[in-house]
Amino acid sequence: MNALPAVFAASAAAAAARAERRHVDALRVTGATAPERAVQLEQLGLVRDEAFKRLAARGVLREAARGGIYLDETAVIAHRDRPPASSRVLLAVVGGLLAALGAVLAGMLMRGQ
Residue 33: what pLDDT? 96
Residue 8: what pLDDT? 76
Residue 88 has pLDDT above 90, yes or no: no
Which residues neighbour 50 within 8 Å (Cβ) at sequence distance 6 or greater?
16, 19
Task: Report the alpha-carbon distance of residue 107 to residue 100 in Å, rounded.
Answer: 11
Q: Which residue has the higher pLDDT, 46 or 90?
A: 46
Residue 86: what pLDDT? 63
Residue 89 has pLDDT above 90, yes or no: no
Residue 2 has pLDDT above 90, yes or no: no
Q: pTM for this structure?
A: 0.65
**pLDDT tens sequence across 14-72:** 888 899 999 999 999 999 999 999 999 899 999 999 999 999 999 999 999 888 999 99
Residue 1 has pLDDT above 60, yes or no: no
Which residues neighbour 24 within 8 Å (Cβ) at sequence distance 6 or greater?
55, 60, 71, 76
Task: Report the alpha-carbon distance of residue 69 to residue 27 in Å, rounded.
Answer: 8
Domain boundaries defined on the chain: 4-112
Task: Report the alpha-carbon distance of residue 11 to residue 29 in Å, rounded.
Answer: 27
